[in-house]
Structure 1
Amino acid sequence: MIPERSGLIVWINDIKSSRVLERYGTVHYVSKKMHYVLLYVDAVKEKKVVQDIQKLPFVKKIEKSLRNEIKTEYNSNIPDKTRFYTI
């Protein structure tokens, strides 16, 4: 069974320190230009990990990713108009 994961966006001062975040979860993406790291952690351990990461000296702020709250199943009530444009 796959554990429930939650995403954290961690804003950092320098890119080299992003390697330290690998011990807290799975680093999915590192933005060199905007200086943030997308980190996935277990949902059960999320609060503990956020507290530990905030104590690090190179972390500016932490945001919770809202990807789990976005609706990904779409309803197609609109009729398909491509059948009207056949040759």
Structure 2
Amino acid sequence: MYPQRTGLILWVSDLKQTKQLEKFGTIHYVSKRMHYVVLYVNADKADEATKTIQKYPFVKKIERSFRNEIKTEYNSNVPDKANLYT
């Protein structure tokens, strides 16, 4: 099916060279004002991509996105108050 993807937030000094990052994965967003790039890569190759990208001179810092680890299934233990108003 689909490969597991993970997000990398790349803080860059120059936005002109962000085209070079397309060979590592999919560029999702480029912030012109804050100078960062959101890049999605395959999870199994994320460590290799991080080491290679860090060598570029225009990359200041790399952060890993924790979006995959956030719980998105919620349960409500609060009783439903809709019955009180009928």
| TM-score, normalising length: structure 2 | 0.90
Structure 2 CA distance for aligned equivalents of residues 29 and 84 of structure 1: 46
3-state SS of 2:47 partner: helix
Give the Å deviation of 1:83. 4.5
Output the aligned Cα RMSD.
1.3
**Structure 1 equivalent of residue 73 of structure 2:** 73
**Structure 2 equivalent of residue 52 of structure 1:** 52
**Structure 2 equivalent of residue 28 of structure 1:** 28
Structure 1 CA distance for aligned equivalents of residues 8 and 52 of structure 2: 13
| TM-score, normalising length: structure 1 | 0.90
Give the Å deviation of 1:53. 0.2
Structure 2 CA distance for aligned equivalents of residues 63 and 46 of structure 1: 11
Structure 2 CA distance for aligned equivalents of residues 62 and 69 of structure 1: 18
3-state SS of 2:71 partner: coil
Change (3 A) 1:14 1:85: farther
3-state SS of 1:45 partner: helix
Over 2 Å off, 4+ runs? 79-86
Identity of paired residues, percent? 63
Which consecutive residues of structure 1, in runs of 5 or more, have no partner in the other structure?
none
Give the Å deviation of 1:85. 4.5
**Structure 2 equivalent of residue 11 of structure 1:** 11
The count of residues paired between Structure 1 and Structure 2 equals 86
